[in-house]
C-alpha cells in the first residue's frame, strides 16, 4: 500500500495500516492496474476464492467491505495469544 496503488472510497491511500469499515470500497488506482504484482494477485484470487465479508468486482478491480469478519471467517493460521502478548507490552 505504501506505493499509492489503492484508493478507499475514491481517495488515494498509502498507509499500510489503514483501517477499513463496512461499506468502504477498496480499489486499485487506474494507473496501477497493469502492475505485474497486482495482475498476479488478481489471478491468485480466482483460485483462492473471495471471503464472504467482501464483495469483489474483478472488472473494476475493487471490493466492498460488506461486514467485519468474524474469527470463524478468517481462514489464516493466526495465533491470537501472540497478538495479545505483543500489544500488551
Domain total of the chain: 1
- Counting other chains too, the contacts that 48-56 makes at CB distance below 8 Å and 24 or more residues apart are 51/75
Residue 68 lies in a domain: yes
Residue 30 lies in a domain: yes
Place of cell 480466482: 46
pTM for the whole structure: 0.79
Residue 20 lies in a domain: yes
Residue 1 lies in a domain: no
Angle (CA) 73 16 18, round 5°: 70
pLDDT band (50, 70, 90) for residue 45: confident
Residue 21 lies in a domain: yes
Please check the confidence at residue 1 and state whether its pLDDT lies above 60: no
* Beta-sheet strand order (sheet of 54-57): 11-13, 6-8, 25-28, 62-65, 54-57
Domain range holding 41?
A: 6-87
Which residues are registered as beta bridge partners of 25? 64
* CATH number of domain containing 65: 3.10.290.10
Residue range 53-71, pLDDT digits in tens: 999 999 999 999 999 998 8
Residue 73 lies in a domain: yes
Amino acid at each position: 500500500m505504501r506505493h499509492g496503488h489503492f484508493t478507499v472510497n475514491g481517495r488515494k491511500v498509502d498507509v499500510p495500516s489503514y483501517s477499513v469499515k463496512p461499506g468502504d470500497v477498496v480499489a486499485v488506482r487506474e494507473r496501477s492496474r497493469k502492475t505485474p504484482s497486482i495482475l498476479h494477485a488478481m489471478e491468485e484470487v480466482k483460485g483462492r476464492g473471495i471471503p464472504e465479508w467482501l464483495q469483489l468486482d474483478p472488472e473494476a478491480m475493487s471490493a466492498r467491505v460488506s461486514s467485519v469478519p468474524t474469527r470463524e471467517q478468517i481462514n489464516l493460521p493466526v495465533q491470537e495469544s501472540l497478538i495479545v502478548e505483543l500489544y500488551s507490552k
